[in-house]
Structure 1
Amino acid sequence: MNRLYSIYDRADPQSFELLQDSISLKKKDIDPIIDELESTLQLIIPDFSLKRVYIDIQDRLLFIILLLTLKKLDASVILIPIEIKPDVFFESEIIYITDNKKHPEALMINNKFEIITGDNFNKNNLRNFENRYDILLYTSGSTGKSKLIGKNASNIITEVMELYRLFKPLKKDLFYITPPLYHIYGFLFGLMLPLYSSSVIDLTYHFTPESVAEYVKEKKVDFFVSIPSYYKMLEELHLQHFFKKAKKLFSSSAPLPLDISDSFYNKSVSITEVYGSTETGGIAYRVSAETIQWQLFSYVKIHGHSLNNEVELIIDSPAISVDYDKEMGFNTGDVVNFNTDNNFVLLGRNTKFVKIHGKRVDLGFVLSRFRDYIKNTYSINILEDQVFAGLKDDKIYIISEGNVFEDPRKLIEDLRAFLPGYAVPRYIIFNSIPRNEMGKINKQKIDELIKGL
């Protein structure tokens, strides 16, 4: 039996439950749906064990039941983000199942769990993949461009067991998540962890932060899972008190600003941040309102660090899903300062350098000088995550969310007093920094924004 499916198979039938709107499905209700869907799919494709399957499913309940069925069939499943169009990823050698896009070579699935074969679907085109993964996910990575990361059951189960050990969800505890299930964070916290603990997953969608907050309070949600940009909206609408009865609030995918964490903490609500990536799995956790220090997950081992020095964070971990030299360790690209063997302060990404006419320029230094100038001249404090610098045609540009309502040409001229000529930005754009739905910088949207410079 597939190891990920076995987590579902061992779930307590008395406590595990899927909720969505007026639908309530216990394990005894889900099992026959999976069995029937499994039989239907096997009539079309008898053996899934070496196949890869794209699932492009918007309905969350349908997503989970189809995913569990495909894991029972031992298929490698590729989770498709809603923003990626089929013409970007589609290959006729890979099975494509969707509930929201008509495609002649796809299998369509409806909310009755019925499969409709596309007119041009050809099972004879399908390829067997010897390099097997249990789950493959698209991630923006550090470049902002979509890339596919494969994870094996051992990567996922390692992390799920650690989350269960640390945060101790109980049977019948209620989970509610805002991030999508096709993102590693949503997949782990919104499906695998509650599955492992035989808890209840509420998939009901609410459009506004107000309705989410009211729902969390009304339904007595135990574990609330979201992202920094959503917590920011909740904080701006003064909705922190709706979450007082929840056992745990989680945040991941991007740094949670300390002022937001503090605003919840001052209302007796703690947000636990989880640090990691799709490639590395979870690395550490903290409640930033209590401490700036991150606590390592127990399975993470550190390579070559010394206490009280700035070092690159290089790790060894069974949750890492990409190939790396085990002797050298995996370089996360982050700079940290270890206070003890298991606790560190995250200082930021490795400094970003670019070359301009043969000169090495530190964009982090340029942004620091820009922020200092704005603060000293206009008494406006622009946070680190409110500015972005890049290079276009050997010219530096800055995007700033803090607007001083000044002619950018004057700012550029004034910055010459603080930067060498080749490092002075040629363009300053006052604009919100484009981000994807998980709050990460969207480099493709930035490219569109600077196109006319």
Structure 2
Amino acid sequence: MASLLRFADTDYFLSDKFFEDLESDQPILVDPLWKGTALEKQLLFSNLPQNGNPKSFGLVTSGSTGSPKLVWKQWIEIQNELDVWLSEPEIQSFFQGIKKIEVQVPLCHLYGFLWGYLIPKALDIPIHVGPNPTKIPNKLWITSAPHLQLPATNGLELPERAIVSGMKFPVPLARELRERGKISILEIYGSTETGGMGYRDPLRQNRFLFLKDIQFTFQTLGEENELLVKSPFVSKRYDTFEANTWVTHTLQPNSYYATGDLGENSELGFYLMGRKDRIIKHKGKRVSLDRIESEILGLPLDGIFVCVPVLHESGDTIGLFTNSTTPVDQIYHTLRNELPSSHIPRVIIRQNSIPKLPNGKIDYQIITKLCLDEFSRLKSMEDKGKEFFEINSETTVSAILKSILGYVPKSDQHLIYDCGMDSILFTELFLKLEKKIGAKIPEEDKQTSFFVSLSGIEGYLNEKIYLQ
């Protein structure tokens, strides 16, 4: 059997050309968006791997590096997964009464292939593929959280039901959809390598329920636990493109596959914290950058937001890159109102375009470097400012706040909610205020509402000086 490279668009599947290829050869399915990119050249001018198993096909993916990864699937694995999903009572009820399925995700990826093509085919439900839904009642969308965000934010018509995958569902978006009502959502948890592992209702559940055929365990990584799974539809082989050649990786029989996902399990289900390479320690807390991106997705902000780690000698922190048209100070204000302090970035860079890899995915490496460079520049300016900043009785409160925050807040801005001051910054503030007035500020005074704003601090100091 020969390996056939197929740029698999919608027509390729709807014409059943895939099944013709599967009977005689081993089709390797590639996203049509890769055409004309450097990734296409890597595939075209390499000796494509072959799989000795009949009725096998490959799905080409790529990670944050943009290097191709070829995940092999046997048809028996796909059939096993289809049988499991179709036997789930909740899945059966979700499709009841559906007259048409709107597919808004590519069929050449496993999620779209299974839920947008094979399951509707098995249930004999017609589909419409494309970003613009048809106007027909009793509809189900096979979609993603970003595709739901736009109509939800703009008050447009939503489907009765939607199936999503690809990221943890944004909490603010779930809240908005709950308030609007009249929509049911099913979120699928899985990957190309593992196939589907579980599901949840993101409007009501924080945890995923594993499928009955999934066996799982955990391995401890520092403070977190990584999920390991074993099931009839986990891929047993994948090939990575390294140094202009394909390198084969195989999963030993009856062994567990390391998902790279961190979380914890209970009788209520699996709580997904995030990818292990996307979790940092910020302000003393373990924070998932994927979770922050998901939360921002559900906020009333235009544009794309990319969250990256900024690893610096002064401590790990968060960088945010965006092509939003919203001014940076307004972005900060929205984030401080909606997110916990541990999720607030210390650096926000706004540019007209998002750096992309040849495959069209976000280039996290370039964005990380840009954010690190900006953070280092700001830190250098801050350190120089502190070095030459001497405080005496003539020093203004606004100057003290600028030395801490890097800017002068408005007179009535709340220092915690509007300016993002944490306990460390507040300690610095009190030390500098005490240096200005030449006296200790009593602990009971620190608990008053005077210290929540610039005007409040000025009022307190005026009273303190008057009483002296």
Change in CA separation of 1:393 and 1:68 when aligned onto 2, cut-off 3 Å: farther
Q: Is 1:251 the counterpart of 2:251 in the alignment?
A: no
Counterpart pick for 2:176 among 238, 263, 270: 263
1:399 pairs with 292, 315, 320, which one?
A: 320
Q: Which moved more, 1:225-234 or 1:68-77?
A: 68-77
Q: Does 1:387 align with 2:313?
A: no
Residues matched between the structures, number: 323
Q: What TM-score results when the alignment is normalised by the length of structure 1?
A: 0.59
Query: Could you tell me how far apart the structure 2 residues matched to 1:314 and 1:259 are?
Result: 29
- Select 1:338's aligned residue among 248, 261, 265: 265
Which structure features the higher share of helix residues? 2
| Inter-partner Cα distance in structure 2 for 1:369 and 1:347 | 6
Give the Cα separation in 2 of the matches to 1:227 and 1:400: 22
Once the two structures are superposed, what CA deviation does each residue of 1:195-243 show, in whole Å capped at 9, x if it has no partner?
222222223x34xxxx42xx2xx2235331001111111212212x431
Residue 83 of structure 1 aligns to a residue whose secondary structure is helix
- The unaligned stretches of length 5 or more in structure 2 are 237-249, 290-298, 330-340, 375-468
> Which residue of structure 1 lines up, in the alignment, with residue 418 of structure 2?
none
Q: CA deviation at 1:66?
A: 5.1
CA distance in structure 2 between the aligned counterparts of 1:224 and 1:436, rounded to whole angstroms:
29
- After TM superposition, give the deviation of residue 160 of structure 1 in Å: 1.5
Q: Contact between 1:227 and 1:438, CA under 8 Å: does it hold in 2?
A: no
Q: Distance in 1 between matches of 2:193 and 2:165?
A: 14
Letter in 2 for 1:236: T
AA aligned to 1:256 is: F
> Would the aligned equivalents of 2:58 and 2:73 in 1 still touch at CA under 8 Å?
yes
Max Rg structure: 2
Which residue of 1 is the match for residue 146 of structure 2? 229
How many Å separate the matches in 1 of 2:313 and 2:115? 42
% identical equivalent positions = 22
Counterpart CA distance in 2 for 1:386 and 1:223 is 29
In structure 2, relative to structure 1, the CA distance for the partners of 1:154 and 1:92 (3 Å cut) is same
- Superposition TM-score, scaled by structure 2 size: 0.57
Counterpart of 2:102, as a letter, is Y
Correspondences of 1:20-419 after superposition (within 5 Å): 50-58=1-9, 60-65=10-15, 67-71=17-21, 73-84=23-34, 85=37, 86-91=40-45, 130=52, 134-141=56-63, 143=65, 145-166=67-88, 167-168=91-92, 169=95, 173-203=99-129, 205-206=130-131, 211-212=132-133, 215=134, 218-239=135-156, 241-244=157-160, 248-266=161-179, 267-303=181-217, 311-322=225-236, 323-325=250-252, 329-340=256-267, 343-350=269-276, 362=281, 387-389=307-309, 398-401=319-322, 405=328
Cα gap change, 1:65 to 1:448, in 2 (>3 Å): farther
- Deviation at residue 69 of structure 1 after TM alignment: 4.5
**In structure 2, how many angstroms separate the alpha carbons of the residues matched to 1:449 and 1:219?**
46
What RMSD over aligned residues (CA atoms) do the two structures have, in Å?
Answer: 4.6
Amino acid at match of 2:31: P
Q: Is the 8 A contact 2:198 2:208 kept in 1?
A: yes
Q: How far is the alpha carbon of 1:404 from its aligned partner? A: 7.2
Distance in 2, Cα, partners of 1:164 & 1:128: 31
Name the aligned partner's letter for residue 61 of structure 2.
T
Question: Cα distance 1:82–1:390, how it changes in 2: closer, same or farther (>3 A)?
Answer: farther
Q: CA deviation at 1:366?
A: 8.9
- Contact 1:387 / 1:433 at 8 angstroms: preserved in 2? no
**8 Å contact kept, 1:184–1:278:** yes
1:62-93 deviation per Cα after TM superposition (whole angstroms, max 9, x unaligned): 44325335345332111111332332311486
| 1:311–1:393 distance in 2 versus 1, CA, 3 Å | closer
Check whether the contact 2:22–2:55 (CA below 8 A) recurs between aligned residues: no
Q: Is the 8 A contact 1:367 1:389 kept in 2?
A: no
CA 452–304 in structure 1, closer or farther in 2 if over 3 Å, else same: closer
